[in-house]
Amino acid sequence: MRITMIGSGYVGLVSGACFSDFGHQVTCVDKAEAKIDALRQGKMPIYEPGLDQLVAANVAAGRLGFTTDLAPSVAGADAVFIAVGTPSRRGDGHADLSYVFAATEEIAAAVTGPTVVVTKSTVPVGTGDRVEAILREKRPDIDVAVVSNPEFLREGAAIGDFKRPDRIVIGTDDMRAREVMQAIYRPLYINDNPILFTGRRTSELIKYAANAFLATKITFINEIADLCEAVGADVQDVSRGIGLDNRIGRKFLHAGPGYGGSCFPKDTLALLKTAEDFGSPTQIVEAVVKVNDSRKRAMGRKVLAALGQANGGLPSDNGARGKTVALLGLTFKPNTDDMRDAPSLAIAQSLADAGIRVRAYDPEGMEAARALLPDLTYCRDAYEAADGADAVVIVTEWDAFRALDLDRLKGAMQAPVLVDLRNIYRREAVEAAGFRYTAVGR
């Protein structure tokens, strides 16, 4: 199959590379010349484990190419995927669909024969209807079917998610489009991956509902963690105790500093806006957004409290001013360089507001973090970040932080205070090494 992928960001690049690895002929299109030039040289615009090798192998095999010229790539394609960004629109939180509709206009001008246009971008309910209306208005002479095919990729595990998916959701009532999509995903049949065919609007809503539900699980366990601290319980045991119930499940029940990233924050806001537009309020999701926003700020106060306890009481801003804190991990999750809505942003800001000097290290997110947090001191590793610090704070659970040399860490610090916002250490081991230890919900 000939596939054109419009948009070479996270979703478009991973999807395009994986489709080409299935044996399809794929062309990734992007307006950013610098990005396309870099991709042609084998340089990835994002960090995703294994992506550079996957791209290189399929470019070498002649199945994957990159261009800024959309028209010849669309002409004669069996399927054209729209995988452009849909960020939150300023002012109302709705998904900004301008890139989707701009791509649709260009597709309409370039298409030369029967094809299937697939929205891979995360889009609100009814977007496929508008895409179809644009195509039919501009090109009534061409048989074009519009399909919804949302992505369910986790950053840091995207290639595995694409090749071994929990499910493939395809929204269409057009039989020809259905056959094309089945042919595209045929290499996955051997793994017996379930393909769910639905109506287009249902498919669009599945994506938002899934992300909102996962965000709700995270927010729920974070509130339970606060209750655990108040009553003297252990949130990790609570998580295991409820997660062993198959009706609940164990995933996304890890207490921490709140969710971030490219999906959950914008998708929950977009779902709220859609529900508002249709007069069907989603009060649970509204509460999730509010609680998660306050959660990140609360983590800054948690660090201040840990500093105060180490000095015999809660510090005022004057008492905290001049102290140094080391932040380990800046990205919203490990195995990515994505800083979008990362908890570290709110935590670093709250510490800076209290007059605290912040030193930081992240295995992959330093370049992106510098643009958002220019006043931090960036270090080569965790031990350099801890040099002279009054507290070390684990914000992101990178593997590199799971087995730190606690003696070396303590030797570098001004005061042995460890604030573990991801609960990756055991209290007994940390306290045995001479640290004052603060965790979440424990």
Look at the alpha carbons of 194, 200, 205, 211 in this order and tell me if their dihedral is positive or negative. positive
**In whole angstroms, what separates CA 30 from the centre of its chain?**
21
Q: Yes or no: say if 248 and 224 are a contact pair by the CB < 8 Å rule.
A: no
Residue of 18, 28, 228, 263 marked catalytic:
263
CA–CA gap between residue 196 and residue 182 (Å, rounded) = 11
Tokens coding 91: 């002012």
Q: Yes or no: say if 15 and 48 are a contact pair by the CB < 8 Å rule.
A: no
User: What one-letter code names the amino acid at 241?
Assistant: G
Tokens coding 137: 């208005």
3-class secondary structure for the chain? CEEEEECCCHHHHHHHHHHHHCCCEEEEECCCHHHHHHHHCCCCCCCCCCHHHHHHHHHHCCCEEEECCHHHHHCCCCEEEECCCCCECCCCCCECCHHHHHHHHHHHHHCCCCEEEEECCCCCCCHHHHHHHHHHHHCCCCCEEEEECCCCCCCCCHHHHHHCCCCEEEECCCHHHHHHHHHHCHHHHHHCCCEEEECHHHHHHHHHHHHHHHHHHHHHHHHHHHHHHHHCCCHHHHHHHHHCCCCCCCCCCCCCCCCCCCCHHHHHHHHHHHHHHCCCCCHHHHHHHHHHHHHHHHHHHHHHHHHHHHCCCCCCHHHHCCCEEEEECCCCCCCCCCCCCCHHHHHHHHHHHCCCEEEEECCCCHHHHHHHCCCCEECCCHHHHHCCCCEEEECCCCHHHCCCCHHHHHHHCCCCEEEECCCCCCHHHHHHCCCEEECCCC
Tell me whether residue 263 is one of the annotated catalytic residues: yes
Closest Cα partner for 262 from 4, 5, 3, 12?
12
CB burial of residue 225 (10 Å; 0-12, 13-18, 19+): buried
- What amino acid positions are annotated as catalytic residues? 263
